[in-house]
Homo-oligomer: A and B are copies of this chain.
Amino acid sequence: MTAALKLATPKGYTALNPDTVKDYLAALPEIAKKLGGKLAEWQSREVGDGNLNLVFIIKGKDGSVCVKQALPYVRLVGESWPLPLSRAHFEHLALEAEATFAPAYVPASYHYDEAMALTVMEYLSPHIILRKGLIRGIKYPNVAKHLGEFLALTLFHTSDLHLSAEEKKKQIAVFAANTAMCKISEDLIFDEPYFEAPMNRHTPGLEDIAKSFRADAVLKTAAQEMKWRFMNATEALIHGDLHTGSVMVTETDTRAIDPEFAFYGPMGFDVGAVIANLLLAYFAQSGHAEKHGARNAYASWILEQIVVLWEIFAATFTKLWKERDAAHPGGDVYAPRLYGGESGNAINPAIRARLEAIWNDTLGFAALKMIRRILGLAHVEDMEAIPDVSLRVACERKALTFARKLLVEHKAYGTPQVLAQKAMAS
């Protein structure tokens, strides 16, 4: 990682290591002050466990910061898979937008360096990755509420419900350049699990279902219909990768991180990402049970969080929408001037229909995200951490079977309650 890169990088870019990152920060007076004391006393370590980037935690006498730097390739695969550093730029823009509309739910940004493809941001402590908490069986009483609010605040305010048509089209054009990151999602989520892609992998014992999915024309066409939505629905600035590994939590605090896949896409993609990963956590629980049945109550709690998440999302989205009036008309669609200057009750059917459309997308994207994490390239720790392979296969098979049904029969899953019941019964 700290060896010289073979890939060409722009002038001014050097991949940092735990030592050089300290020199870099020492040259930024405000950051140095935040850390306090002398450089020699600072502790630095690289902690990136994601698939793409370098992440450093630097602790000083008075404070700590986190440094995230993009590498010019996919870390999970190596330099053979180059990936543009520009993703740091889009992450920076997305973080700014999220901080504008949902400041409580993202880390504070202290410094952005375009050439170095690097952001210095708040070190979140004692937060842990939500996924790890779910594997350990920890209940976070606020996480579903917080994520529901984060989703509603960011998606509403970057849509035509809030932005003018002119501003929205400008933003669509800006984020349309995040092509390389979109392409990863397009390939890995919608295509690769459905043909013999070289990088696919799965737990031994899933050969039959993997094969049947690759031969399943109904399933793959449903996947492509969702891909069409992904590529053709510029509804809002979406995070683009909001799985439970992109959420850091404590009992009281929740932060969404890593929006480098951000672009103008369908709202349901973000909501579906959270729900897919909660469902994966749910289906993995029996694999983590200390003894048979020991995780049943916790598994139910996870499903309840899906219901809470959606209900908070829908309520917050509705509230924001109904606050629009002649004095604060918001964006150019469903304009208050059409509804007597006030949203009033006349707007309720419109809100219901829009939420129903988001829910439908949510189900489709959630199903596809479950499948790609079991049959595609990038897997999730929820399943990977189940040591007993036959138990893991059982959990994964259940999740796959559920996801397939969810995708092709999504109209039978009209509410999060029904979704939770069907997961429970599966």
Where the two chains meet, the residues of A that have a C-beta atom closer than 8 Å to any C-beta of B are 160, 165-166, 168-170, 172-174, 176-177, 179, 182-183, 186, 191, 194-195, 217-218, 220-221, 224-225, 227-228, 231-235, 332-335, 337-339, 346-347, 349-350, 353-354
Contacts and interface: CB of A to CB of B under 8 A. Distances in A.
- Secondary structure of the A side of the interface? helix
Nearest to A352: B221
A220 B338 contact: yes
Contacts of A195: 337-338
A194 B338 CA distance: 6
30 contacts: A160-B228, A160-B231, A160-B232, A165-B179, A165-B183, A166-B183, A169-B176, A169-B177, A169-B179, A170-B176, A172-B172, A172-B176, A173-B173, A173-B174, A173-B177, A191-B335, A191-B338, A195-B337, A195-B338, A217-B339, A221-B346, A221-B347, A221-B349, A224-B333, A224-B338, A225-B354, A227-B333, A228-B333, A232-B233, A232-B235
Contacts of A231: 160, 165, 168, 234, 332-333
Given A221-B353, A228-B333, A166 B191 contact: no
A176 B179 contact: no
A329 to B, nearest CB: 12
Among A172, A174, A220, A232, max chain B CB count under 10 A is at A232
A169 B177 CA distance: 7
A337 B196 CA distance: 9
A235 B233 CA distance: 8
A346 to B, nearest CB: 4
